[in-house]
Amino acid sequence: MRKNILITGASSGLGRGMALEFAARGRDLALCARRTERLEQLKAEIQREYPQCRVFVRALDVNDHQQVFEVFEAFREDLGGTLDRVIVNAGMGKGASIGTGHFEANRETAMTNFIAALAQCEAAMGIFRQQNAGHLVTISSVSAVRGFRRAMTVYAATKAALTTLSEGIRADVLDTPIRVTTVHPGFIRTELNEKVKKVPFIVDTETGCRAMVRAIEQEGSNVYVPSWPWAWMQYLLRLLPLSQVRRFS
């Protein structure tokens, strides 16, 4: 069992939801995000509901790459010298159509969702290689399978890059005790998309995070959640003409 679990971007949305699900399973947690007041509230909630769980929280801006390495190492010490699973979850969805004057928002999304994710993967894998054990989990998206328009353009591109990065890491550690899982959530209602009204097959945060945690525990390579409809929808998205795909964004 992966007992000691680190989750980035844990103050809200999918990160918070996964933390609650893992706490219910009796895991010890290392939770980090920029908004420490929310982390403290989450810690208090978990310890109230699941007093057997140890919970450590630290401030982390994943775009401060040196801080990523420092915080991961500090969490490893907090948890007795071992990290069993690291979930690279922190991300954002700012942006707009390319060429419409929103380069800074698009750049920020690209830096947070890919370069900062690379830093998190480097920090996690450095620890796992030292331990010769561990489970790296990257949170990608169903949008990684195709190009999307408007605010999704850069977001989808970063998630495609993260999926490919994860596969490369997985290839590098095949036949070792280190596992790499890429989770591709479908549409799950969170703060990130709460203003978007028309979204097909969307589920609430609790349902989505429960499906994500079940998939993570199985430690497959590439998983699409909730499995209905996204396990088969990802194949359809790859085959649809672009004129049909654009309806999803």
Catalytically active residues are: 155
Q: Given CA atoms 226, 231, 236, 242 in this order, what sign does their dihedral have?
A: positive
φ, ψ at 197 (rounded to 5°): -90, -50
Say how many Å lie between the first and final Cα of the chain, rounded: 38
d(CA 64, CA 161): 20
- For residues 102 and 151, is the Cβ–Cβ distance under 8 A? no
In whole angstroms, give the CA distance from residue 19 to residue 55: 10
**Amino acid found at 228:** W
Half-sphere exposure of 104 (CA within 13 A, CB side): 0
CA–CA distance, 4 with 6 (Å, rounded to integer):
7
Sheet holding 222-225, edge to edge: 55-59, 28-33, 4-8, 85-88, 134-139, 178-185, 222-225
State the Cα–Cα distance between residues 179 and 173, nearest whole angstrom: 8
Q: What is the dihedral of CA 189, 154, 19, 41, to 10 degrees?
A: -80
